Structure formats: structure tokens, C-alpha cells
Amino acid sequence: MNSLGRGATFKEISKSIVENIKIPLPPLETQKQIAKTLDTAAELLALRKQQLAELDQLIKSVFYDMFGDPVVNEKGWKKGKIKDLAASISYGTSQKASTDKLSYPILRMNNITYQGELDLSDLKYIDLSDSDKEKYLVYKGDLLFNRTNSRELVGKTAVFREDSPMAFAGYLVRLVPNENGNSEFISAFLNSSYGKKLLYKMAKNIIGMANINAKEFSNIEIYIPPIELQNQFADIVAKIEEQKALVRKTIDETQTLFDSLMSQYFD
């Protein structure tokens, strides 16, 4: 279709060109069967994606059920600041990353989604000296906060749930929780509608980018439920994440099936 287009500024395909394109023409009953098979696969794929969205919503619902609305704090939790829940808050490394597979994958701002997930589909790598490992490695249970991005995306927050440590880049802030805080609770708070609006208001524009520095991040006001309740919430999140992993696997398998069918019918 692209090769048939005419025009310099933008390409256009005329009605007569479309009418004269030659295509395979199986019997009508075969066409109907192909359409039915592809529709079934597409419906199954949509259903799986809906299940994934519902599991995401379930985490938010559990958060509000257990802790109440952050706006009104109807459960009367004591209030504090994020730094009250942190053993340490620090910036990542400014070391240049490589596409070569070096010692550690490095998480950058694009590896955190707006929804609060880690996307590991596009990773780069770095080497770290022994002295830098403590400063620039993130471990399971730590929290990552995107301090610099566009105003809509600054403040993206996710929990690091991988078993093997990774490095983290300078546009990210790592929070290691203390005995009073659980990263799953902090992340859910910042990813709530209240948290998103708060972070958007906090962001300061600096040369085309928005920023919330580590000090500002640490001083964000937050209600502080008992750690036992935070840990209970984290356990529920872990079970839901297990279900999400299974659904993602099914989505990948269904997508592979759909692509295979498309290739079988149309290549």
C-alpha cells in the first residue's frame, strides 16, 4: 500500500488504485471461517487484557478499603512525611549506560510506567566498582521514584520486585524503607489519584522538563498506618501480582497464536 501511494508532501491512494489491487480470493465460506477464527482469538486477547486491568483496579480498591481515602484520612491514621518511612533516600548514578551486556542492567526513567509498574523490555547496562554497588544498586523491596520527566510523567513510582539487584540511573531516586514503612504501601499511595494530582502540582518546570528533587520527595506528607497493616497490604499485592504474571503469560501466548493465524492466512 505504501509503494502505491502518490504525492510528495503526503501520500495518497486513489479509489481506482484500491479497486485494482490484486488479493487472494478464497471461497466465501473460507473467508467467513477465517474471520470467525480471528475474531475469536481477538476476543480472547481483549478478555485477557481486561482481566489484567481489573487486577490493577483490585490493588487500588484494596488500598482504599484498608487505608481509606488519602484526601480525608477517615480512618484517622497519624500523619508524617515520606522520610519518616525511609532508612535512606538517594539519587542514582550518572554513569553512561551501554547496550553491551555488562555487569548490571540499569533502570532508567522509561523503565517505570505511569501505572506504577517496571517495564524491563528495554534495558541498558553498566559496570560498578565495589564502592559504587552500595550506592547505586536497587534490591527487592526498594522503591524507585522518577524525579525528572515531563510534568505529566514526573513522579512515576514503582516497587522493585526482582530477585537480582539492578543499578538505577540519576533521574531516579531510590527509597529503602525503614521499620515503619513498606514500599508497596508508599507506592500505592503515590500512584493513587490523590498522589498523582499531588505530584503534578509539586513538579517544577526546569528547561522543558519537570522536577521533584529528593528533598521535596522526602517531605511529601503521607498518612502512616501501622506497619503490620502495611505488610498485610503488601502480601495481598504479592498474590495479585502473581495472578497478573499468569495473565500476562496468557496474553503473550494468545498474541503469539493471533500472529501465527494472521501469518498462516495472509502471508
pLDDT confidence bin for 9, thresholds 50/70/90: confident
Residue range 116-163, pLDDT digits in tens: 999 999 999 999 999 999 999 999 999 999 999 999 999 999 999 999
Q: What is the pLDDT of residue 265?
A: 86
- Count: domains in the chain: 2
Sign of the alpha-carbon torsion through 218, 223, 226, 229: negative
Instruction: Kindly tell me if the per-residue pLDDT of 24 is higher than 90.
Output: no
Same domain, 190 and 86: yes
Give pTM, 2 decimals.
Answer: 0.85
State mean pLDDT over 206-234: 95
With pLDDT > 90 as the criterion, what percentage of the chain qualifies?
85
Query: Are 140 and 131 contacting, i.e. CB atoms less than 8 angstroms apart?
Result: no
Specify the DSSP element, H or E, that contains 146.
Answer: strand 143-146
Same domain, 239 and 137: no
Residue-range definition of the domain harbouring residue 236: 26-67+226-267
Same domain, 240 and 126: no
